[in-house]
Amino acid sequence: MSCELSETATPEDFARPRWVGQPDVLERAQRLSQKFEEAYGRAPVGVWAAPGRANLMGEYVDFSGGMCLPFAHQYVTLTAAAPREDGVLNAQSMQDADESVADDRPRSTRIDDIEPGVISGWFGYVAGVSWGMNRVARGASAHPVAVPELGLPTSFGADLMVDSTVPIGAGLASSAALECSVALSLFSLNTGNDHPNDALRRALARACMDAENYIVGANTGGLDQTASLRSHAGEILALDCRDFDVVRLPADPALAGLTWLAIDTRAPHKLADGQYSSRRAECEAAAAVLDVPTLRDALPEHPTPDDAAAVLDRFDHLLEVGAELTEDRENTRLRLRHSMTEMVRSVQIADELHSDSPDWAFVGRLLVEGHESMRDDCEVTVPELDAAVDGCLSAGALGAKVVGGGFGGSVIALVSLESVDRLAAAVQLCFAQNGFREPLFLTLQPSEAGRRIL
């Protein structure tokens, strides 16, 4: 497989790339209101939206306490909602017939009956949020304090109708967008507060994370939900996953004539089952060898590439002198190398973005290193992802990398505004030459967090 552009390629050789249009959020919200009324026979009280995210660096390190660099993008999931007084939660989705969503299980439950293992399919993301909110309210989650404001009284229930403009299952966090829009709607219906502050948003992000971890059963680490609920327009979040503190980095590539291009490879999610959990288990096994609570604790406060190399040397030494390892040795070392270098790259990019005029070429090179690490050390890429990165780089992108968990999903690339069309065409051609499914293209802008729309 190669995505080198042939020197003789002319624009006529390129099939027309398929772009995902900019979402008209207000129009979608109005349409959703109508759908709600048709389904439930009454008007919704409001419509709430929450975005998906991209991530510049920090893949597979959130559960290890590393730093991630996400931004919320402009594609949102919308939830129209109205309260009930019988403790019942009902939900419908306009994406129900979508192949990535479809299932025929009931989408109604008493909130009191929700517990791990009883709800399957996409309704788990929705029901899980109400369960997670009660958990955070009574201090039963990993959130540092109990947040009673999130608690739903026994009689509280709601009718919900969902519509998404985020590509689903594309690594752009449609699941977090769904959870977070539901969380904002339930919180608002119950408390009347349409403007939760950052502390409440942090608690709601934890409730959504618990929904995904315990009710859906996906072992994810909080990056997506934090980005969806706590981002600001025009900024990238430097998210410290030890304590979920954020530093906001104003970083607008448009000032340098650049933009973020996302390519949804639409590669089928083969092999993905259990892979996220096994990577996490290997990272935890490496932390046990190093005798640290999480891998982040193996590095100093402001880690450098030398620090990352020193941790690997220490790991090798500890195994030589007989430290016990519960996972495969070679795989664990690769995951450790990914985690260490990825954490350092996040810090390097964050440092660069603190400057008034960031060196975007340097950032681009780190993105490529991040992709190579996801491919060779984390081993979560597929040919479509590698081809999209190769295609972008051969057509002049400053950098490109897989975003999210891999095994399909999307690539983001840092590209000059004037080269976007040419770049998309080059990737399109490359996919056609390799016999892959036709990719989808989106430009992403760092956008505001979840909010009430209507």
Residue among 224, 377, 386, 390 flagged as catalytic: 224
Which residue from 70, 132, 222, 404 is in contact with ligand ADP, where contact means CB under 6 A?
A: 404
| Binding residues with Mg ion: total (CB under 5 A) | 1
Taking CB under 5 A as the criterion, which residues in 150-189 touch Mg ion? Answer: 175
How much helix, strand and coil, in percent to the nearest 5, is found in the chain? 45, 20, 35
In whole angstroms, the minimum distance from the beta carbon of 70 to Mg ion comes to 12
162 makes contact with ligand ADP (CB under 6 A)? yes
Which residue from 171, 221, 222, 399 is in contact with ligand ADP, where contact means CB under 6 A?
A: 171
In whole angstroms, the minimum distance from the beta carbon of 259 to ligand ADP comes to 21
Q: Which is nearer to Mg ion, 175 or 259 (CB)?
A: 175
125 makes contact with ligand ADP (CB under 6 A)? yes
Exposed, middle or buried, 306 (CB in 10 Å: 0-12/13-18/19+)? exposed
Q: Which is nearer to Mg ion, 55 or 64 (CB)?
A: 55
Distance between CA atoms of residues 380 and 2, nearest Å: 19
Q: CA Rg, the chain, in Å?
A: 22
In whole angstroms, the minimum distance from the beta carbon of 173 to Mg ion comes to 5
What b/e readout covers 428-446, taking b as 16+ CB neighbours within 10 angstroms?
A: bbbbeeeebeebbbbbbbb
| 247, HSE (Cβ side, Cα atoms, 13 Å) | 13
Distance between CA atoms of residues 446 and 454, nearest Å: 22
Tokens of 1: 């497989």
245 is catalytic: no
Distance between CA atoms of residues 292 and 277, nearest Å: 19
Taking CB under 6 A as the criterion, which residues in 173-202 touch ligand ADP? Answer: 173-175, 178
Tokens of 305: 């590439």
77 makes contact with Mg ion (CB under 5 A)? no
Taking CB under 6 A as the criterion, which residues in 53-92 touch ligand ADP? Answer: 77
The C-alpha angle 204, 205, 208, rounded to 5 degrees, equals 90
**Chosen from Mg ion, ligand ADP, none, partner binding at 100 (C-beta under 5 to 8 Å by type):** ligand ADP
Which residues of the chain form contacts with ligand ADP (CB under 6 A)?
77, 93, 95, 100-101, 122, 125, 162, 164, 168-175, 178, 404
* Residues contributing to the site for Mg ion (CB under 5 A): 175
Annotated catalytic sites, by residue?
224
